[in-house]
């Protein structure tokens, strides 16, 4: 018999939604940004100067949605798009990298302590080893699911959530 209350996707969604909804409200009230914007800012804070495709993979936001979001964030002064230097390795005139602006970096650094507070609240009652194990297992779950996204489709195409449209 199927038991929803012990079904892994249900449990993951339920826990993730509770954290995301609460943090989203705080982000909107304090900084006027969405959770997706935060994911972009945090990703760029982690590794600034990413290309759109890499940023889409890191944030799990589809490229077309991400492109629109980046435009909104650029208009808000949170990030900028730059072409790499002409002498850069793998340089391509069409390539654009995304960078935090000073305002984007300041906002991100102001939001990080609150993000860590939400994480600490979610992990209350877990010891450090358990928290590390949980994070490691969630990373492995995510990687495991990529097998389904890359399976062959009729006509020999590969299904991928982050397929480039260019």
Domain ranges of the chain: 4-122, 128-166
Q: How far apart are CA 132 and CA 126, in angstroms?
A: 9
pLDDT attached to residue 165? 47
DSSP 73: H
Structural contact between residues 137 and 61, judged by C-beta atoms closer than 8 angstroms = no
- Cα–Cα nearest to 150, from 32, 20, 57: 57
Q: How many CB atoms lie within 10 A of CB 38?
A: 22
Does pTM top 0.85 for this prediction? Answer: no
- Asked if residue 59 has pLDDT above 70, the reply is yes
Fold of 4-122: Arc Repressor Mutant, subunit A (1.10.10)
What is the rounded average pLDDT of the residues 35-39?
Answer: 98
pLDDT digits (tens, 9 = 90+) for 101-158: 999 999 999 999 999 999 999 999 999 999 999 999 999 999 999 888 766 655 555 5
pLDDT digits (tens, 9 = 90+) for 4-20: 999 999 999 999 999 99
């Amino acid at each position: 018999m199927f038991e929803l209350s012990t079904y892994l996707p249900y449990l993951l969604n339920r826990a993730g939604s509770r954290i995301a909804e609460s943090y989203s409200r705080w982000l909107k009230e304090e900084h006027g940004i969405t959770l997706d914007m935060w994911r972009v800012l945090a990703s760029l804070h982690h590794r600034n100067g990413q290309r759109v495709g890499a940023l889409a993979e890191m944030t799990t936001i589809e490229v077309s949605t991400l492109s629109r979001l980046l435009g909104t964030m650029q208009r808000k002064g949170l990030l900028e798009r730059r072409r790499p230097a002409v002498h850069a390795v793998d340089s391509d005139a069409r390539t654009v990298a995304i960078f935090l602006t000073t305002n984007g970096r300041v906002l991100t650094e102001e939001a990080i302590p609150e993000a860590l507070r939400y994480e600490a609240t979610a992990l209350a009652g877990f010891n450090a080893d358990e928290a590390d194990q949980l994070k490691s297992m969630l990373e492995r779950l995510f990687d495991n699911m990529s097998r389904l996204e890359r399976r062959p489709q009729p006509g020999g195409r590969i299904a991928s959530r982050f397929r480039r449209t260019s």
